[in-house]
Amino acid sequence: MTFRHRHLLGIEPLRPEEITTILDLAEKYVDLNRQPVKRSKVLKGLTQINMFFEASTRTQASFEIAGKRLGADVMNMAMQASSIKKGETLIDTALTLNAMHPDLIVMRHPNSGAVNLLAEKVNAAVLNAGDGKHEHPTQALLDALTIRRKKGRLHRLTIAICGDIAHSRVARSNLILLGKMENRVRLIGPPTLMPAKIEEFGVEVYDDMRAGLEGADVVMMLRLQKERMDGGFIPSEREYYHRFGLDAEKLSYAKDDAIVMHPGPMNRGVEIDGVIADDINRSVIQEQVEMGVAVRMAAMDLLARNLRELAGPKEVMV
Amino acid sequence: MTTTTFINARLIDPETGTETTGSLTVEAGTIVGRNLAPRGAVVDCDGKCLAPGIVDIGVKIGEPGERHKESFRTAGEAAAAGGVTTMVTRPDTTPTIDTPETLAFVTRRAREVSPVRVHSMAALTKGREGREMVEVGFLLDAGAVAFTDCDNVVTDAKVFSRALVYARSLGALVIAHPQEPVLTRGAAVTSGKFASLRGLPAVSPMAERMGLERDMALVEMTGARYHADNLSAAASLPVLERAKAAGLDVTAGVNIHHLTLNEFDVGDYRTFFKLKPPLRAEEDRVAMVEAVATGLVDVISSMHTPQDEESKRLPYEEAASGAVALETLLPAAMRLVHAGALALPVLWRALSLNPARRFGLPGGTLAEGAPADLVLFDPDVPFVLDRFALRSKSKNTPFDGARLQGRVLGTWVGGERVFG
């Protein structure tokens, strides 16, 4: 088993076997999470702080449950209401928290790279829960686990990622991960929502949904991130839905057993038809949420092991 | 009256484009000749390079308003240590230098504490807001050597064209940093694979070309004297070439960072590499170096922009732009010489001769009668840069920890030694 990192800041620094290590361990936590008693002690005595500078319901809840099931002391900081609003810089907040000796810090921040900045300044292991338009590694890992369980493998699959690629950290982490695991990745969306030179990442780019979905094993829909747009990316939501919204007709171009994924929260009727989202034969959206808890438990477990190794065997008695 | 003879010097003469071994005699602050019989104090240059002092245009000093970032004293000391004998300072201070009174303040401060020569630029419009032109005549009388709103583009073409016409009637030089301001807004890096990977807001280098195209049309319309500074994009160069071929009174400049670094140097969100315009692709860097070699781009400057730790220790998008470079300009430029891209006299044409000529300043030459503003340097000596050893108050250099070659051994301003 290999996983040699102090932090989980993105998929980019991970090697394929490290991704496999996380997913293998997460499988064990999927089993644990289905037991009536879901307690483990691997993070016992450790303190986990969740710092969310952007509103989040599912990711924050998922990290909180993951930490608690592993026995950590979990604290949620409501950063929108905190001293950042009073003018304190991210670094000062980080140093203040660091002085309280947390072991794991889970951070979401609206600026790309903010999590890297934090990781340089604290002793805790830092987990990126989404930074700007950069990465969202645990989302990509939970998507990978979902795909692996549904498709029986995580290589040589054709995976279409559709929608607002430009504003999506989920898309970046996913295309990096799926590329590392040797899948065929297609990106589908209007050219205004495609990042520059994205084809250089070894992906195929389509602006036609039907052509892009042709023969796909996995269809990954993204949320249209209206809050990150400063105007004029698409003419209207109805035209977007007409051209890029996933409905039964467009989905018929994918393989018959293709699965449909969405990181949530969904805009029904904008990027996905509600009927597809609720179709238990195609949609794995609920399973993604379940895998999220397991993957986060695995990631924190691995980081905590590395923390302990760094700290050495001595224990302080009080 | 001081007399000094520099013997055993490798004389770098940008005017003739030559490197020769010989001596140079200086008397009463003026160069009096080469290879004369030594008299006065003798400085043995030991075969090292002696060149006209660097004339660095576009230096930002934190006076008035941000003296915690840089003062005339610290900037002057950094300049002396970097072989810069003339600083042409920017008006983007707080408040803006847009009246004869604020100009008089900086002129006095500079005279009191700076060991090197200082000339000031004034804003082109009041408050650099792009609405009303400044008192160009009064400011010229008070000593302004050029007019610029720096990185604020005068978006209103009518305001800009009137300012250009008015400046032309007084023979004043107008400097702009061309950009299409709406495309550029909010951008932290150059668009491309790297920007997409890092998820940072980005701008195409075409925004610079669009700004330059507009300005060239306005210069053609008004006949103004215009210097396009801080160019960085290969796409801008054909525009510049056409304007020069058409006989417009246009020159151009590039800052040292765009000649020696590219977008990938930003790495994991290193904010000391955040510049305005942002670092470009390697192809752009190579094209800019080539343009300096051919003379299409006339001037290399430091675009010295001091920023304190607080304004840089932020997430990349929110961090301030700019880098200090007075002291690193020469060793960074030596990278281009050691890479075989530029010969020393060609480099010195861009660092010293051309800016002096364009701004109508004495200096930039080793000719008889020129002021004895000189730099003695060893182009080869290697060192690792430690940013905390810099004399600038602010330490925001992208070259921290970099291996550089080239060290200043001595700097003279008007025949007086100010460093070494």
**CB distance A145 to A118 below 8 Å:** no
pLDDT value of position A228 = 66
pLDDT value of position A55 = 85
Alpha carbon of A166: minimum distance to chain B alpha carbons (Å): 8
**Which tokens hold the place of A96?**
């203040």
Q: Which residues have a Cβ under 8 Å from the Cβ of B30 and sit 6 or more positions away?
A: B369, B370, B371, B372, B415
ipTM given for this complex: 0.89
Give the whole-angstrom CA distance, residue A1 versus residue A6: 16
pLDDT value of position A311 = 76
pLDDT value of position B119 = 98
B11-43 burial, b for 16+ CB within 10 Å, e for fewer?
bbbbbeeeeeeebbbbbeeebbebeeebeeeeb
Residue A58: active-site member: yes
Give the whole-angstrom CA distance, residue A308 versus residue A315: 10
Who among A91, A112, A197 is closest to B316 (CB)? A112
pLDDT value of position B170 = 98
**CB distance A42 to A71 below 8 Å:** yes
pLDDT value of position B70 = 97
| For testing contact with chain A, the best of B263, B316, B318 (most A CBs within 10 A) | B316
Alpha carbon of A66: minimum distance to chain B alpha carbons (Å): 28
Q: Could B268 and A134 be called an inter-chain contact, meaning their C-beta atoms sit closer than 8 Å? A: no
Is the CB of residue B273 less than 8 Å away from at least one CB of chain A?
Answer: no
Alpha carbon of A84: minimum distance to chain B alpha carbons (Å): 12
User: DSSP label at A207?
Assistant: S
Annotated binding residue at A38? no
Nearest-by-CA chain B residue for A176: B197
Axis crossing angle, helix A285-311 with helix A16-33, rounded to the nearest 10 = 110
**Using H for helix, E for strand and C for coil, what is the string for B46-72?**
CCCEEEECEEEEEECCCCCCCCCCCCH
Convert the pLDDT of each residue in A15-57 to its tens digit.
999 999 999 999 999 999 999 999 999 999 999 999 999 888 8
Residue A4: active-site member: no
Residue A109: active-site member: no
Picking from A238, A245, A289, the residue whose alpha carbon sits closest to that of residue A264 is A289
Q: Hey, what CATH topology would domain B53-364 get?
A: TIM Barrel (3.20.20)
Who among B193, B313, B317 is closest to A197 (CB)? B193
Give the whole-angstrom CA distance, residue B378 versus residue B293: 22
Is the CB of residue B315 less than 8 Å away from at least one CB of chain A?
Answer: yes
Is the CB of residue A164 less than 8 Å away from at least one CB of chain B?
Answer: no
Three-state DSSP at A22 gives helix
A–B interface: beta-carbon pairs under 8 A: 70
| Dihedral Cα B151, B157, B158, B162, nearest 10 deg | 50
Nearest-by-CA chain A residue for B190: A196
Give the whole-angstrom CA distance, residue B25 versus residue A265: 77
Nearest-by-CA chain B residue for A12: B197
pLDDT value of position A83 = 54
pLDDT value of position A87 = 66
Q: Is the dihedral of CA A96, A102, A106, A112 positive or negative?
A: positive
Residue A149: active-site member: no
Residue A136: active-site member: yes
Please name the residue that has the structure tokens 């576009």. B58
Q: How many CA atoms lie within 13 A of B215 on its CB side?
A: 32
Phi-psi region of B320 (alpha: psi -120 to 50; beta: other; left: phi over 0): beta
List the catalytic residue out of A20, A59, A93, A158. Answer: A59
Give the whole-angstrom CA distance, residue B144 versus residue B89: 10
pLDDT value of position B7 = 97
List the catalytic residue out of A4, A85, A86, A197. Answer: A86
Point out the residues of chain A with pLDDT beneath 50.
none
Give the whole-angstrom CA distance, residue A28 versus residue B414: 78
pLDDT value of position A128 = 98
pLDDT value of position B137 = 98
pLDDT tens per residue across all 420 residues of chain B: 689 999 999 999 999 999 999 999 999 999 999 999 999 999 999 999 999 999 999 999 999 999 999 999 999 999 999 999 999 999 999 999 999 999 999 999 999 999 999 999 999 999 999 999 999 999 999 999 999 999 999 999 999 999 999 999 999 999 999 999 999 999 999 999 999 999 999 999 999 999 999 999 999 999 999 999 999 999 999 999 999 999 999 999 999 999 999 999 999 999 999 999 999 999 999 999 999 999 999 999 999 999 999 999 999 999 999 999 999 999 999 999 999 999 999 999 999 999 999 999 999 999 999 999 999 999 999 999 999 999 999 999 999 999 999 999 999 999 999 999
| For testing contact with chain A, the best of B198, B271, B273 (most A CBs within 10 A) | B198
